[in-house]
């Protein structure tokens, strides 16, 4: 591969540089570059007179302000993003001719946007919802967008039902409530009367719908795509993003409290992690199927409400994505970025998944209304790193200044340029799938099994995960006012599991089904978070410390934790410096007013609290709540009396030790476990 190619592929940051601007130290001008002499007062007819229409500076400034808000996305409005790079581990030439998947030495720039689905742009981030996981690869052959979610299936099988789903999911129109929540009548009425949603609902009621952070959730392409190699051989493929830190979640009570304490919790976590150099990493995984295996399974591989179980079709890890740079401006980048599943490169093609086929139309249509016209591709964040040439002209927001008289094909005046490329020259050629049949409005019979994989998901869950699903359904249906809708949903999920639906029915006052359940006994261990990677790195630990702490003990523990990758943050009575018995100073990062136990992955109380009854009281409250959320809690020698007084009982994830080294190591191990579900709570 030539150096020129590497520079081209890696040039996105340099390309964007020309659009970045700092106003610091500069003179104010209009948007046309005219220097401004006054920006405090509008032009008037006398000091007390009316404002004059000729005040072009006022009109330009106010007009721009009036138009600063573009329409938010109908779905995925609440999002946050980051820049990064992707490298393939080894050439995938055997499966695809996509050049960015050929050379392990090439770093492909990427831009990734994470988002909730249901809520408005101002909604909280830790709500129960699917999460968007959209990746734009700036490749030398053009932009490739992998537009997915953190859940591998979807509610519906055909895109024609997408408006119905979102109308049902959004706040109910007669009173515009609830915001960013599915716990209401219209959503569950939709579920009960569109039972293809059963599998997705199982995921949405599971811990997957309340991720600990964007850095700790999987991403999925959802649909079945095709990879095509140079020889024209095709494989069906499903795309996965596997987080290096593992898949971890919040508990429901914690998620609700975080929504109030810090509605920006997920974006703050992503931003701070990148700023601190703790770059989020995701491995790209592929599930590959030869075309001849299309009909070998007991489910339709094109059905977007179905997974390919990883035990049946293993995930091959083929590369790594690292997010290493925050955006410079959220509006210009995160809000204006335009993803589209139809943005592909040679070697990546589509399947006949009817939900995917509809998305190929919908995304362009959406960008036209959001971004003001057909030139959204010219916005800096959307521009490819390779040149683009065509006969498209004019429209809102046009930045290209096209030269010459010709804007059509075929032509003779410009030598019939821009000219098309052959396949050998990199021209995109659609996979030549044989298609025949009558024009019908129908779905394949193989799409009609709605409960087998919902039961598979249930069977795959650990005991705590099953309890969380039961609690989630009980909460959601408990918010539904219609008794009839409640009963319909109970009757529907009787087809999945009586173990699931019976306690839910009892909790909401519905009639438990007398019979039912699924005959499916198969499980897929890969679906359970109990089997995920468990690492302590980047976990935030709240360390409660008071004035006059034991210098040697506290500093030894903090140093050991930092070496293990934990991020200890000091919680004290007041902001500022506190001093140890040997005059070591510590900066207090949080007070009990500015922080909360739900904002940390673990809590520890050390020393210096003996002289402050208020500090002891607040610390006890924090410790007790963290303990009830199954988080690691701990105490050094001086902190042990307070830990015991707070009502925290010894047991799993409760770390106390007399030796500092032993305590520090045991606490790191407890943090790596994430939650301690075998803790017995009264």
Where residue 564 sits, what CATH number does that domain have?
3.40.50.880
Q: What is the pLDDT of residue 10?
A: 62
Spans of the chain below 70 pLDDT = 1-10, 610-611, 682
Q: What is the pLDDT of residue 612?
A: 75
CA distance 513 to 500: 11
Decide if 472 is inside a domain.
Answer: no
Decide if 464 is inside a domain.
Answer: no
- Cβ neighbours of residue 437 under 8 Å, at least 6 residues apart? none
Decide if 283 is inside a domain.
Answer: no
Decide if 648 is inside a domain.
Answer: yes
Q: What is the pLDDT of residue 79?
A: 98
Q: What is the pLDDT of residue 682?
A: 53
Marked catalytic residue, from 57, 83, 143, 149? 149
76 is catalytic: yes
Marked catalytic residue, from 76, 240, 266, 343? 76
Decide if 27 is inside a domain.
Answer: no
pLDDT in tens, 332-351: 999 999 999 999 999 999 99
Give the total number of structural domains in the chain: 1
For residue 521, how many other CB atoms are within 10 A of its CB? 8
Q: What is the pLDDT of residue 1?
A: 40
pLDDT in tens, 297-327: 999 999 999 999 999 999 999 999 999 999 9
329 is catalytic: no
Decide if 361 is inside a domain.
Answer: no
φ, ψ at 86 (rounded to 5°): -130, 140
CA distance 654 to 645: 14
Give 508-513 contacts, CB < 8 A, sequence gap 24+.
508/474, 508/477, 508/478, 508/480, 509/483, 510/477, 510/483, 510/486, 511/487
CA distance 130 to 128: 7
Strands (E), 196-355: 219-220, 225-228, 234-243, 281-290, 316-326, 348-350
CA distance 217 to 149: 10
- Which helix (DSSP H) or strand (DSSP E) does residue 267 occupy? helix 265-275
Strands (E), 278-421: 281-290, 316-326, 348-350
Peptide bond into 178 cis (omega under 30): yes
Q: What is the pLDDT of residue 44?
A: 87
Decide if 593 is inside a domain.
Answer: yes
Q: Which domain holds residue 575?
A: 534-672
CA distance 118 to 95: 36
Sign of CA dihedral 616, 621, 624, 629: negative
Decide if 494 is inside a domain.
Answer: no
């Amino acid at each position: 591969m030539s150096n020129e190619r590497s520079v081209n592929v890696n040039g996105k940051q340099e390309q964007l540089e020309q659009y970045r601007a700092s106003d610091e130290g500069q003179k104010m001008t209009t948007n046309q570059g005219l220097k401004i002499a006054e920006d405090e007062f509008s032009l008037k007819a006398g000091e007390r007179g009316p404002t004059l229409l000729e005040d072009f500076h006022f009109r330009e400034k106010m007009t721009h302000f009036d138009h600063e808000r573009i329409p938010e996305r109908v779905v995925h409005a609440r999002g946050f993003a980051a820049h990064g790079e992707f490298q393939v581990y080894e050439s995938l030439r055997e499966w695809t001719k996509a050049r960015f998947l050929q050379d392990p030495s090439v770093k492909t720039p990427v831009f990734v946007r994470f988002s909730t689905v249901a809520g408005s742009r101002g909604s909280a981030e830790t709500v129960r919802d699917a999460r968007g996981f959209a990746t734009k690869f700036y490749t030398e052959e053009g932009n490739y967008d992998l537009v997915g979610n953190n859940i591998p299936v979807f509610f519906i099988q055909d895109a024609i039902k997408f408006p119905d789903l979102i109308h049902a999911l959004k706040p109910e129109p007669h009173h515009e409530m609830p915001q960013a929540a599915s716990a209401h009548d219209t959503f569950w009425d939709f579920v009960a009367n569109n039972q293809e949603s059963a599998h997705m609902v199982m995921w949405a009621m599971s811990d997957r719908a309340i991720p600990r952070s964007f850095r700790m959730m999987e991403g999925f392409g959802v649909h079945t795509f095709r990879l095509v190699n140079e020889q024209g051989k095709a494989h069906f493929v499903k795309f996965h993003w596997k987080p290096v830190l593992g898949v971890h979640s919040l508990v429901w009570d914690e998620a609700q409290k975080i929504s109030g304490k810090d509605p920006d919790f997920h974006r703050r976590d992503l931003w701070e992690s990148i700023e601190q150099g703790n770059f989020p990493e995701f491995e790209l995984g592929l599930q590959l199927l030869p075309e001849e295996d299309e009909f070998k399974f007991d489910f339709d591989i094109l059905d977007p409400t179905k997974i390919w179980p990883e035990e049946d079709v293993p995930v091959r890890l083929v590369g790594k994505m690292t997010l290493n740079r925050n955006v410079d401006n959220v509006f210009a980048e995160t809000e204006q970025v335009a993803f589209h599943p139809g943005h592909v490169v040679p070697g990546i093609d589509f399947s006949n998944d009817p939900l995917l086929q509809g998305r190929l139309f919908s995304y362009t249509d959406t960008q036209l209304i959001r971004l003001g016209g057909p030139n959204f591709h010219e916005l800096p964040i959307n521009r490819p790193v390779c040149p683009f040439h065509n006969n498209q002209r004019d429209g809102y927001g046009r930045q290209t200044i096209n030269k010459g008289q010709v804007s059509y094909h075929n032509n003779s005046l410009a030598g019939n340029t821009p000219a098309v490329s052959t396949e050998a020259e990199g021209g995109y050629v659609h996979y030549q799938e044989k298609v025949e049949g009558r024009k019908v409005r129908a779905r394949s019979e193989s799409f009609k099994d709605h409960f087998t994989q919902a039961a598979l998901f249930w069977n795959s869950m650990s005991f705590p995960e099953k309890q969380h699903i039961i609690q989630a359904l009980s909460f959601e249906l408990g918010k539904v006012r219609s008794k009839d809708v409640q009963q319909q949903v109970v009757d529907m999920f009787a087809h999945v599991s009586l173990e699931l639906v019976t306690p839910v029915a009892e909790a909401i006052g519905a009639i438990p089904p007398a019979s039912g359940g699924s005959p499916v006994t198969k499980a897929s261990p890969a679906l359970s978070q109990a089997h995920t990677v468990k690492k302590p790195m980047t976990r935030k630990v709240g360390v409660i410390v008071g004035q006059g702490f034991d210098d040697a003990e506290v500093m030894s523990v903090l140093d050991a934790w930092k070496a293990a990758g934990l991020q200890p943050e000091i919680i004290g009575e007041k902001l500022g410096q506190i001093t140890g018995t040997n005059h070591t100073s510590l900066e207090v990062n949080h007070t009990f007013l500015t922080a909360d136990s739900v904002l940390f992955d673990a809590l520890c109380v050390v020393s210096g609290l003996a002289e402050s009854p208020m500090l002891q009281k607040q610390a006890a409250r924090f410790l007790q709540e963290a303990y009830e959320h199954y988080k690691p809690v701990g105490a050094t020698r001086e902190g042990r009396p307070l830990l015991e007084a707070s009502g925290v009982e010894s047991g799993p994830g409760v770390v106390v030790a007399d030796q500092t080294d032993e305590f520090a190591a045991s606490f790191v191990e407890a943090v790596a476990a994430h939650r301690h579900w075998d803790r017995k709570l009264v």
